[in-house]
Each structure stands twice: as structure tokens, then as C-alpha cells.
């Protein structure tokens, strides 16, 4: 399921890969991309996944209560038995001792499916002030909500009063306890209260093409990784564009279909430039500062980033099925997990977020999320 966006073309119909292939294609194409990226010969273009699913009309007015999950559209998930094993690729920085991060599995939530509490491609995750967990269930085109103990609460999928989300891809929680969800199909950002009620669009003075990364900092600045446009946009809480990093290419300081970006307390911006297999650091003014190597991957399932409470950089490293911890200079400090289906193992972990010292991870091809706590 690799994106190969080079410039925004006219909209095309989305293939049925997401519906029919599901995790099978995710894990196979992620592995294939990593293998091809390490070959000396030029890589051939991967199959394109672009276009639209028809929006689903749900209501004629903004609901005053939580949407009824029974009314949500569903897809038929691919059985776990149909998912092919992925190829593990060694991290270019060198492997840390197995299990060297001092974390253990506190909870595993979900399974493949389309019912309440089940997932078809859990893509991104956010945690509210009350500990509730919000998960982008991409294949089922909805957001699912769990309490702090992992019990299913409710789901929602309205983009506005009359249409549904088409390709929800990222989610963040603001300091005001409002949710922002980005839809990769039309590039729109939508606002919700903590109960999933739509609050209208988050208006931004920019357009995005296939955004694959979405994050927020402590000051409620939002970072959109405009993958198809090979740029990073920092947006203020009022929707103004504060900074744009848009040098396209493969040289240091340039971007080639990046898949995530996060801002740190100093204003610096970390970017996962996943196609070229590197993490780049930019200053608060957008000037390039440094980079280090990671395993290359496709932009759909590339490595996503989070800053830990210790100031270190944590990576949901989908190609190697681990959570990795790096210093600010790119030294690999530790890892957690391995490829598999058991608790503490992952198949294509695509997103992570911190709630205090606890890490929540989306385990995409296993159709679940995992809660990791310090030992």
C-alpha cells in the first residue's frame, strides 16, 4: 500500500486494495518496499493507492448525542490467516539489545473485524485528559473510543453534519480536550468534542495532497505532513500557516514523500523522511540541522515519531516491527518488540503516543492496539 505521489494529479478512483487486501497487502508491501529500498539498483514505482471512496451520508444535522455505532459503515476484514509474514530488515543504525527498553505490556485491545472494539487497519491514536483512548480505525472509516482501562465506549465517523469520513488517517487531542482528525482523501481537518460530536472544519489557509502525518505540540500548533506535496506545514491554533518546509529532493534538508513530523518544546521539528530512510531535524526557522538513517519504508506505513517525557525520540518502526528509542544525535538507545502476534510483538506498528510514561501503539496488521508501561 505504498504511496508514490510525485505531484498532485487529477483525482482518481481509489482501488479496492484497502477493502480486499487489508493487512495482507499492508504487511507484504511494507516488507517489499524495505527490501527494494536496500538494493543498489533504482527502485521501481510501487502500486499507487489514491483516489476516493464515496462519502456516506449519515445525518442532516449535527447530533446532540454520541453517534450510534450500529449505523456506521463497515468493511469485511481479511482473516489473520491470510496475512503473509513480513521480512525483517536490520536497522541501519545497528540493533540494540533485544528488549532493551524497560517496558512491559499492560494491555492488548482489539482484534481484526468490524464490530465494536474490533479494527480493520488501526492507523493512529490519541489520548484525552481523562485517559480515554481514541483510535483511527482506517479500514472501517471511523474513530473508536475506549476508556483508560481499554473498555470500548463508542465510535463516530461524521466529517460534518451530512457526510462521513472517507479516509481518516491521523488524530490529535488539543489542550482544550478537542479532537482534530485529518482525512487523507480530501485533506480536510475536522474538529470534534470529546464525545465525538462534530464541531466543524478546522480551516487552514493551505491545501494538502495525501497527508500521511499529523501531530500537535504543547502549544496546540499542528504539524501536517503533506506527503504528496513533499512538505511539512506548521499551523497555529487559529489555522494560520506559521512555517512551511518544502524543499523537494533527496539531499540533506530536502524531503521526498515524508510520512510524519513532530515539534519539540524548543520549536525544532523532527521529520520522518521514510522513503529515503532517514530522520531529519530542522530548526524553528525551518533550517536544516542534522539527519540520521532509519530503515526505508513506503509513506503509507512508514515510521512515525513521538517525543518521550525523557526528551528522547521514539519511533514506531513499521518495517522492523519494533518501537525504537533514539537520542537527539541519532544514537539508537533501545528497542522493544519483535515481529509476531503475541502480546509485546507487532506487525507493522504505525503510530505511537505517550500518556505520561505509558506508550500506546497501533499494531496495524494485527488489528489491535497495545499499551506499554514502564517496568
Cα 292 to Cα 330: distance, rounded to the nearest angstrom: 6
Segment 119-123 mean pLDDT: 97
Which residues, in sequence order, are bridge partners of residue 103? 374
Eight-class DSSP state of 42: P
pLDDT over 90 at 245, yes or no: yes
Total domain count for the chain? 1
Structural domain contains residue 10: no
The closest alpha carbon to 77, from 21, 141, 143, 2, belongs to 21
Segment 101-112 mean pLDDT: 96
> What is the reported pLDDT for 96?
54
> What is the reported pLDDT for 98?
57
Cα 233 to Cα 255: distance, rounded to the nearest angstrom: 12
Low-confidence winner among 34-43, 122-131, 171-180, 207-216 (lowest mean pLDDT): 34-43
> What is the reported pLDDT for 198?
95
- For 306-335, give one letter per residue: b (16+ CB within 10 A) or e: bbeeeeebbbbbbbbbbbbbbeeebebebb
The closest alpha carbon to 372, from 143, 150, 76, 116, belongs to 150
* Percent of the chain scoring above 90 in pLDDT: 69
pLDDT over 80 at 130, yes or no: yes
pLDDT-derived band at 180 (thresholds 50, 70, 90) equals: very high
Segment 28-42 mean pLDDT: 49
Mean pLDDT of the chain: 81
Higher-confidence residue of 30 and 120: namely 120
- C-alpha cell of residue 149: 482501562
pLDDT-derived band at 163 (thresholds 50, 70, 90) equals: confident
CATH number at residue 190: 2.120.10.30
- pTM, two decimal places: 0.79
> What is the reported pLDDT for 206?
83
pLDDT over 90 at 72, yes or no: no
> What is the reported pLDDT for 160?
79
> What is the reported pLDDT for 33?
55
Check residue 266 and give left, alpha or beta (phi > 0: left; psi -120 to 50: alpha): alpha
> What is the reported pLDDT for 121?
97
Eight-class DSSP state of 46: P
3-state secondary structure (DSSP) of residue 140: helix
Structural domain contains residue 8: no
Structural domain contains residue 93: yes
Structural domain contains residue 4: no
Structural domain contains residue 12: no
Q: Which residue has the cell 481537518?
A: 189
Report angle CA 147, 128, 208 to the nearest 5 degrees. 120
Report angle CA 207, 209, 211 to the nearest 5 degrees. 100
- C-alpha cell of residue 284: 524553528
Half-sphere exposure in the Cβ direction for 137 (13 Å, CA): 34
Q: Would you say the C-alpha torsion 192, 177, 238, 64 has a positive or negative sign?
A: positive
Structural domain contains residue 109: yes
> What is the reported pLDDT for 186?
86
Low-confidence winner among 19-23, 163-167, 308-312 (lowest mean pLDDT): 19-23
> What is the reported pLDDT for 26?
59
> What is the reported pLDDT for 18?
42
Higher-confidence residue of 207 and 45: namely 207
Structural domain contains residue 11: no
pLDDT-derived band at 107 (thresholds 50, 70, 90) equals: very high
Eight-class DSSP state of 241: E
Q: Which residue has the cell 496475512?
A: 83
Question: What is the tens place of the pLDDT at every residue in 270-283?
Answer: 999 999 999 999 99
> What is the reported pLDDT for 266?
94
Specify the DSSP element, H or E, that contains 30.
helix 23-37
pLDDT-derived band at 100 (thresholds 50, 70, 90) equals: confident
Domain hosting 166: range is 17-374
> What is the reported pLDDT for 126?
98
Structural domain contains residue 184: yes
> What is the reported pLDDT for 219?
97
Amino acid at each position: 500500500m505504498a504511496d508514490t505521489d510525485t505531484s498532485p494529479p487529477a483525482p482518481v478512483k481509489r482501488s479496492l486494495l484497502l477493502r480486499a487486501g487489508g493487512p495482507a497487502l499492508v504487511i507484504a508491501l511494507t516488507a517489499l518496499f524495505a527490501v527494494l529500498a536496500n538494493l543498489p539498483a533504482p527502485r521501481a514505482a510501487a502500486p499507487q493507492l489514491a483516489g476516493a471512496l464515496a462519502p456516506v451520508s449519515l445525518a442532516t444535522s449535527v447530533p446532540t448525542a454520541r453517534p450510534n455505532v450500529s449505523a456506521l459503515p463497515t468493511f469485511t476484514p481479511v482473516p489473520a490467516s491470510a496475512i503473509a509474514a513480513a521480512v525483517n530488515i536490520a536497522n541501519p543504525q545497528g540493533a540494540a539489545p533485544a528488549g532493551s527498553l524497560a517496558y512491559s505490556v499492560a494491555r492488548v485491545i482489539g482484534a481484526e473485524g468490524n464490530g465494536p472494539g474490533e479494527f480493520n487497519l488501526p492507523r493512529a491514536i490519541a489520548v484525552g485528559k481523562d485517559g480515554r483512548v481514541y483510535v483511527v480505525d482506517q479500514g472501517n472509516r471511523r474513530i473508536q473510543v475506549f476508556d483508560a482501562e481499554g473498555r470500548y465506549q463508542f465510535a463516530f465517523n461524521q466529517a460534518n453534519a451530512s457526510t462521513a469520513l472517507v479516509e481518516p488517517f491521523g488524530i490529535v487531542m488539543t489542550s482544550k480536550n478537542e479532537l482534530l482528525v485529518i482525512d487523507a482523501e480530501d485533506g480536510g481537518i475536522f474538529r470534534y468534542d470529546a464525545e465525538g460530536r462534530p464541531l466543524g472544519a478546522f480551516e487552514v489557509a493551505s491545501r494538502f495532497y495525501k497527508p500521511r502525518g499529523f501531530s500537535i505540540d504543547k502549544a496546540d500548533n499542528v504539524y501536517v505532513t503533506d506527503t504528496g506535496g513533499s512538505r511539512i506545514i506548521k499551523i497555529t491554533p487559529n489555522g494560520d500557516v506559521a512555517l512551511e518546509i518544502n524543499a523537494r529532493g533527496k539531499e540533506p534538508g530536502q524531503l521526498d514523500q515524508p510520512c510524519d513530523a513532530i515539534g519539540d518544546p524548543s520549536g525544532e521539528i523532527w521529520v520522518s523522511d521514510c522513503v529515503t530512510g532517514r530522520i531529519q531535524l530542522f530548526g524553528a526557522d525551518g533550517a536544516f540541522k542534522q539527519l540520521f538513517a532509519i530503515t526505508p519504508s513506503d509513506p503509507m506505513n512508514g515510521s512515525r515519531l513521538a517525543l518521550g517525557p525523557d526528551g528522547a525520540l521514539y519511533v514506531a518502526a513499521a518495517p522492523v516491527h519494533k518501537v525504537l528509542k533514539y537520542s537527539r544525535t541519532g544514537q539508537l538507545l533501545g528497542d522493544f518488540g519483535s515481529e509476531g502476534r503475541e502480546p509485546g510483538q507487532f506487525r507493522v506498528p504505525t503510530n505511537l503516543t505517550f500518556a505520561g510514561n505509558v506508550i500506546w501503539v497501533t499494531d496495524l496488521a494485527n488489528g489491535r492496539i497495545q499499551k506499554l508501561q514502564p517496568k
